[in-house]
Structure 1
Amino acid sequence: MNKFFSFAIVLILICSITADDVFTSQSGNKYSTNRLIVKLQPQKEMPKSELIKNVHHLFLQTYVVYTSDLHALEDVLQKSENVNSIERDFHSERKDLARNVTTIRESEVASPFNDPRVGSLWSFADAGENGISVNKVYQEKSTKPQSEIIVAVVDTGVDVNHEDLRNVVWNNPGEIAGNGIDDDQNGYIDDINGINTLVRDKDGKATVDVSDTHSHGTHVSGTIAAQQNNSTGVAGIASKVKIMAIRTVPNASDEKDVDVVEAFMYAAKNGAKIINCSFGKAHNEGGNVVAEAIDFIGKEYGVLVVAAAGNSSQNIDIRPTYPASFTSENLLVVASTTSRGAMSYFSNYGKKGVDIAAPGSSIFSTVPRNRYSSMSGTSMASPTVAGVAAEVLANNPSLDPVALKSILMNSVTKVSAFSSKVVSGGRIDLKKALIAAKAQQK
């Protein structure tokens, strides 16, 4: 969402099909010149045209069509009875998404973890101390995961070799590393830890280098799943979880709709039950493909999408931001709170459009090359909720995404000042959510 990254690292991506020119619409929004999103009528096929270079299926009747002449192809497709709708592949505006922080509050509460820097995780404190009760849950041994949960981090990539993440990174069980073969026939060659939708081959297929050249995605991943009790670094919120790394957000955060949808579809088809989205844009340009994809993966694959509310200090009920402002029953939107219990000054809010609040200011976590750093943003609040969701789901694997969302929202620690800011009126609480989920399963 707005103001993702606190610093920029220049990355030059050399690739064939995605190194396209960018046009700017009359409204000022940029879009790719070499691909369209095409939704066909039921039971209909893609019209034939010399302007179509490649076609990739996304979901249902929705496809990505590559072309060398976008505007001419638009005219052709608009005249076809086979076509339901056409969307351009709009970019998000370039922006920062998270803020580096130099000061952090050390927790004075005894920790159940042996990770040496876990004292920096103020959010692990009890609900009465403005935290989310992580320490208490593990001290009381009240979490007993039954299933391992895959969480897809759709972001700037992940440092899969980080000392605190390498043992919690998802490995594709159907793929043999480095053999140049699509062993599991899922459409991607050597996708061991995930995919990279930013760099594509000559046919427009996503590649598989998920390295994080920024830090955002690695930081998000650590909040969710940094290995617990390995006498190293910090600890993640979830104890039985794997991180699926999907690089879809450029370092300047100007992600595109096609890349987002492909990331969602890959995650869902390959077993992720939670997707974290610490990104977004202020304009939707009337497109429906991302919203339809969120609905589809919820209904067909049982996926809960957790999204940051954005960092513009605004009411998104009045000034929407996306994907947070899409209305889907399996989309959970998160505002940010501080260690003092207030809503973070930068956080977006909305009595109708933002579901829940979670710690997002001065969050300490992993960053590339075995380092650690503190950042602030709803980008950090979203993975806090994703981590709680993963732990609750691991304890109660039969929960569908709608039921899981309901439990998380109905078990919050109420904060009077949040009653007009978020739907649930409170801050997420791991202990209360586990108790509520257990009660519902009886």
Structure 2
Amino acid sequence: MNVKRTLLSLLMAGLSLATYAQKQAPNGWHLSDPQTSGYYGISLDKAYNFLKGKKSQTVVVAVIDSGVDTTHEDLRPILWTNPKEIPGNGIDDDKNGYVDDVHGWNFLGNKDGRNVGKDSYEAARVYHRYKAKFENIKDPSTLSKDDQELYTMWSKAAKDVTKGVDPSSIMLIKRIYSEVKTGDSAIVKDLGKSVYSVKDLQAYTPKSKEAAAFKNIMVGTSAQNNNNTDITNKNLLDELESEMAKAESAQTPPPNYRGDIVKDNEADINDRYYGNNDVEALGADHGTHVSGIIAAARKNGKGIDGIADNVRIMMVRAVPDGDEHDKDIANAIRYAVDNGAKVINMSFGKGVSPEKSWVDDAVRYAESKGVLLVHAAGNESADNDTTWNFPNPVFKADKHRATNWITVGASGAEKNNLVANFSNYGKEEVDVFAPGVNIYSSVPGGNTYANFSGTSMASPVVAGVAALILEYYPQFTPQQVKAIIEQSAVPFTGDVTNPETGEKVKLSSLSRTGGVVNAYSAVIMADELARTGKFKTPGGKIKVDSKEVKIKKQQGAEKKKEKVKSA
């Protein structure tokens, strides 16, 4: 959930309550058809109408994330179950190195059952790891080639860690946190519940000035996040605690949260068989939400409908409350590939990557095995063409680009707010936009749902569309699925707002395709490619598996009528 910048701005600006005329779109708007609903969804019902009568085969989608609630009513039927593993017998039945990996694996755990929840930020880890080595270097050109590269990364980490941090700002954040906690405690007592949302506060009258102040923060944050009333006190407190930890990390090395629990050799990528099978563990909100977007059981009358109707979700837990570790991500990708995933969703990211080569090797492995990787662009309103954002598809060793990788920015429900104000962008580094604002999906609790926003929500929309294509057209390679998704994205010809500068620009300046993903357009194109070897859509040429496939224009009034209109 992308509430951090809004929260801090409210705290530092004296609880300013900016309001917006934009109304909140209905739950599930991301599945709707732009022509009939007015919301810029993915036209999913039209896609299924087109696919009616066609047979599908099951596709395994791995979600590398924070964990998943395996008891959730909308997720229980669609969880991947390892067919070669006997649950609970304490034996590695399939001899893959992971004992009782029934629904996936947790690389953030110990065999004794303990799990990593909170963790530090990669920039802080890198900054303090190399501080003694580089802090007194005056002329980096005197360093060896390898150390020059390391110095560049350390300098970036140092800038990220120390930017805007001084003792007075740390004291201010701590003071604000103390006041916020006082107000939160009062509301918890008044409402009789430890976790509450903005929705719960609508009929609540505070009894103290501290409670009133925190209610204002909650309501103001909701207003600045597209009137999302599902934002909770826990979301805001977690974000503020994270900011406190970041501020303190400029002066103090972060605790070894992961190492103290996992007990592997983090410096050895070949030490792979660590962790445990607890795929829910701690803090599974994010992974549960992402999983529901992709594949929550459809047409069961409960909660939400996922995008893909014949998918099994494999959870690979590798993302803590903090920054992921490169070793865990590399091993998570390999685990997913080795256990049959055809699509991997990666809704995470960070600013430095000390062991990028390990992740690159895993990406190459996925590429060689025909697995598509879908990655969230990030939520810093930044240009990925010029800003460090990891993982990414450009290999460190040779600067070649992975061909099995899609990077996704977040779009909103309405024409006048099409590009989410938090979304990263990039004419070269962001491939396509997809719905990522107020996306309604499953959260832990068995039968609980909420709206989250972020490119973390946009990425699984694309992963779900990719899985849908592979269900009905399993012969396609990752490169072909990527081409279909990108070429079928509905172009937006109106002006949009650059998230970083606020300028009015064209969507084509913020992404490679200049379009928003559309499931209906994608399956039409997939079907045409399967039948004729050619794409049936307007314009140009596209490379698929290193061969140019000519694209011919759609013919006939009826097909033109069915075509999703450009904005």
Question: If the length of structure 1 is used for normalisation, what is the TM-score?
Answer: 0.72
- How far off is 1:3 after superposition? 7.5
**Within 1, Cα distance between the matches of 2:333 and 2:528?**
31
Which of the numbers 359, 384, 403 marks the counterpart of 1:316?
384
Percent of counterpart pairs with the same letter?
A: 43
- How far off is 1:317 after superposition? 0.2
Secondary structure of 2:485's counterpart equals helix
- How far off is 1:125 after superposition? 1.2
Q: In the alignment, is the contact (CA less than 8 A) between 1:145 and 1:240 conserved in 2?
A: no
- How far off is 1:183 after superposition? 0.5
Say if 2:516 is the partner of 1:423: no
**Within 1, Cα distance between the matches of 2:109 and 2:4?**
21
Say if 2:282 is the partner of 1:213: yes
Secondary structure of 1:295's counterpart equals helix
**Within 2, Cα distance between the matches of 1:4 and 1:142?**
43
Say if 2:108 is the partner of 1:193: no
Say if 2:178 is the partner of 1:178: no
Q: In the alignment, is the contact (CA less than 8 A) between 1:4 and 1:379 conserved in 2?
A: no
> Could you tell me which residue of structure 2 aligns to residue 303 of structure 1?
371
1:52-78 deviations in whole A, cap 9, x for unaligned?
xxxxxxxxxxxxxxxxxxxxxxxxxxx
Say if 2:424 is the partner of 1:335: no
**Within 1, Cα distance between the matches of 2:477 and 2:5?**
32
**Within 1, Cα distance between the matches of 2:101 and 2:307?**
26
Q: In the alignment, is the contact (CA less than 8 A) between 2:422 and 2:454 conserved in 1?
A: yes
Q: In the alignment, is the contact (CA less than 8 A) between 1:145 and 1:391 conserved in 2?
A: no
The residue identity in structure 2 corresponding to 1:167 is P
Alignment of 1:340-419 (within 5 A): 340-341=414-415, 342-369=418-445, 370-416=447-493, 417-419=506-508
The residue identity in structure 2 corresponding to 1:335 is G
Alignment of 1:39-438 (within 5 A): 104-106=24-26, 120-128=27-35, 129=38, 130-142=40-52, 144-201=54-111, 205-211=274-280, 213-214=282-283, 215-250=285-320, 252-285=321-354, 287-299=356-368, 301-324=369-392, 326=394, 327-341=401-415, 342-369=418-445, 370-416=447-493, 417-438=506-527
**Within 2, Cα distance between the matches of 1:401 and 1:373?**
31
**Within 2, Cα distance between the matches of 1:227 and 1:147?**
16
Q: In the alignment, is the contact (CA less than 8 A) between 1:329 and 1:402 conserved in 2?
A: yes
Alignment of 1:30-45 (within 5 A): none
Secondary structure of 2:57's counterpart equals coil
Shift in CA distance, 355/235, structure 1 to aligned 2, threshold 3 Å: same
**Within 1, Cα distance between the matches of 2:458 and 2:342?**
19
The residue identity in structure 1 corresponding to 2:332 is A
- How far off is 1:293 after superposition? 1.2
Stretch deviating more after TM superposition (130-139 or 261-270): 130-139
- How far off is 1:124 after superposition? 1.1
- How far off is 1:295 after superposition? 1.8
**Within 2, Cα distance between the matches of 1:209 and 1:358?**
31
Q: In the alignment, is the contact (CA less than 8 A) between 1:157 and 1:211 conserved in 2?
A: yes
Shift in CA distance, 269/434, structure 1 to aligned 2, threshold 3 Å: same
Q: In the alignment, is the contact (CA less than 8 A) between 2:85 and 2:100 conserved in 1?
A: yes
Shift in CA distance, 145/123, structure 1 to aligned 2, threshold 3 Å: farther
1:136-193 deviations in whole A, cap 9, x for unaligned?
2234554734210000010001111100000000000000001111001111110000
- How far off is 1:291 after superposition? 1.9
Aligned residues: 333
The residue identity in structure 1 corresponding to 2:389 is T
Secondary structure of 1:419's counterpart equals helix
- How far off is 1:320 after superposition? 2.5
Shift in CA distance, 178/377, structure 1 to aligned 2, threshold 3 Å: same
The residue identity in structure 1 corresponding to 2:314 is M
Q: In the alignment, is the contact (CA less than 8 A) between 1:333 and 1:353 conserved in 2?
A: yes
1:277-323 deviations in whole A, cap 9, x for unaligned?
00011112473221221122111x21100000000001110112011
**Within 2, Cα distance between the matches of 1:200 and 1:212?**
11
The residue identity in structure 2 corresponding to 1:401 is P
Q: In the alignment, is the contact (CA less than 8 A) between 1:309 and 1:334 conserved in 2?
A: yes
Shift in CA distance, 227/5, structure 1 to aligned 2, threshold 3 Å: farther
RMSD across aligned positions (CA):
2.2
The residue identity in structure 2 corresponding to 1:260 is I
- How far off is 1:436 after superposition? 0.7
Shift in CA distance, 195/427, structure 1 to aligned 2, threshold 3 Å: same
- How far off is 1:135 after superposition? 2.1
Higher relative contact order (CA 8 A, sep 6+): 2
Q: In the alignment, is the contact (CA less than 8 A) between 2:410 and 2:454 conserved in 1?
A: yes
Where is the strand percentage greater, Structure 1 or Structure 2?
A: 1
Q: In the alignment, is the contact (CA less than 8 A) between 2:385 and 2:427 conserved in 1?
A: yes
Where is the helix percentage greater, Structure 1 or Structure 2?
A: 2
Secondary structure of 1:227's counterpart equals coil
Q: In the alignment, is the contact (CA less than 8 A) between 1:316 and 1:325 conserved in 2?
A: no
**Within 2, Cα distance between the matches of 1:176 and 1:325?**
37
**Shift >4 Å, 4+ stretches:** 1-7, 139-143
Shift in CA distance, 367/318, structure 1 to aligned 2, threshold 3 Å: same
**Within 2, Cα distance between the matches of 1:334 and 1:181?**
39
Q: In the alignment, is the contact (CA less than 8 A) between 1:350 and 1:421 conserved in 2?
A: yes
Secondary structure of 2:76's counterpart equals coil
**Within 2, Cα distance between the matches of 1:286 and 1:154?**
18
